[in-house]
Amino acid sequence: MSQSKSPRSYLIIARSSPYGSQQARAALDIALAAAAFEQAVSIVFMDAGVLQLLKNQQADAAGIKNISKVITALELYEVNSIMVHQEAVDKYDLDPSQFVLAVDVVTSEDIKTLIAGADQVMVL
Amino acid sequence: MKFSIVIHGAPWSSNASHSALRYAEAVLECGHEIVRLFFYQDGASNGSSLCVPPQDEINIPEQWQVLINKHGIDAVVCAASALKRGILDEAEADRYEKNAHNLLPGFAVSGLGQLIDAAGQSDRVVSFVQ
């Protein structure tokens, strides 16, 4: 890898359902890659993306990889900040205790501030 | 300003790739710089030399190639994305003992680290998701 101005701050906005497309996995892979290169990474799950966080996903039954295993790797890769949008939690009638890892619940206003403060924002 | 552009869409499945192509052209016309094009997920299909659209339709992969070669742009297809979609350069075709390779000249196969590297060098990363 060539020299770059680093580390920079990344905000990944994961808003895709876990198995409806490749986008959910793509967002996580970008987050993990950025963290592996020692960038400051935050991820916020919003819209259908909150469903990625649920415990007891039975993806193996459909012959596909369980995305929640990748999500638990976020902590190992030192992704600094893992957040979920309050509106999405409410919309899907979820409770953070149902999630595979501890997340900070954030408001739309918080997300605005996060976007404004990040060097790079990627929405998937 | 320095831009990197991430293309997530296959050539004709959505407008993502065509929009990204036109955006890239506009970026250069406005005097900005493109640090890297990164073709990710279905976007890797833009690297195929075997697309044959009807004559009255734009050949999107070929247009990408023209833009890349004309301006000497760094263009990377994600290796994992490309391999599983059957987009291979000669080295990968040899490695996996496939009987053909089809990556357009001007495109390079590399990893997701190239996206992070590009983002580190760019003022803006613009993604075109279907």
For residue B105, count other CB atoms closer than 10 A to its CB.
9
The pLDDT of residue A3 is: 46
- From the list B6, B112, B119, the residue facing A8 with the nearest CB is B119
Task: Locate B107 and state its tokens.
Answer: 């495109």
The pLDDT of residue A80 is: 79
Contact state of A123 with B117 under an 8 Å Cβ cutoff? no
Q: Provide, for chain B, the percentages of residues in helix, strand and coil under a 3-state DSSP scheme, each rounded to the nearest 5.
A: 40, 20, 35
Task: Locate B62 and state its tokens.
Answer: 């070929």
> Which residues of A lie closer than 8 Å to B, measured between beta carbons?
1-2, 4-6, 8, 10, 22-23, 26, 29-30, 33-34, 36-37, 39, 119-120, 122-124
Instruction: Name the CA dihedral angle for A13, A18, A23, A25, rounded to a multiple of 10 degrees.
Output: 90
The pLDDT of residue A5 is: 55
Is there a catalytic annotation at residue B78? yes
* Nearest alpha carbon to residue A103 among A59, A66, A68: A68
Sign of CA dihedral B106, B110, B111, B117: negative
What number is the average pLDDT over the span B89-118? 97
Give the helix ranges, DSSP H, for A51-107: 67-76, 86-91
For residues B82 and B109, give the distance between their C-alpha atoms in angstroms, rounded to a whole number: 8
CATH H-level superfamily of A9-123:
DsrEFH-like (3.40.1260.10)
Cα R_g (chain A), whole angstroms = 14
Task: Indicate whether A1 pLDDT > 50.
Answer: no
Residue A92's identity, in one-letter code, is Y
Q: ipTM of the predicted structure? A: 0.86
DSSP E strand stretches across A1-124: 9-14, 40-45, 81-85, 104-106, 120-123
For residues A59 and A100, give the distance between their C-alpha atoms in angstroms, rounded to a whole number: 15
Contact state of B117 with A37 under an 8 Å Cβ cutoff? yes
Task: Indicate whether A81 pLDDT > 80.
Answer: yes
In chain B, the percentage of residues whose pLDDT exceeds 90 is: 98
Give the tens place of pLDDT for each residue, A27-46: 999 999 999 999 999 999 99
For residues B9 and A101, give the distance between their C-alpha atoms in angstroms, rounded to a whole number: 31
Task: Indicate whether B64 pLDDT > 70.
Answer: yes
Contact state of B127 with A34 under an 8 Å Cβ cutoff? no
Task: Locate A96 and state its tokens.
Answer: 């953070």
For residues B106 and A124, give the distance between their C-alpha atoms in angstroms, rounded to a whole number: 27
For chain B, list the domains and their CATH numbers: 2-128 (3.40.1260.10)
How many residues are recorded in chain A? 124
For residues A15 and A35, give the distance between their C-alpha atoms in angstroms, rounded to a whole number: 19
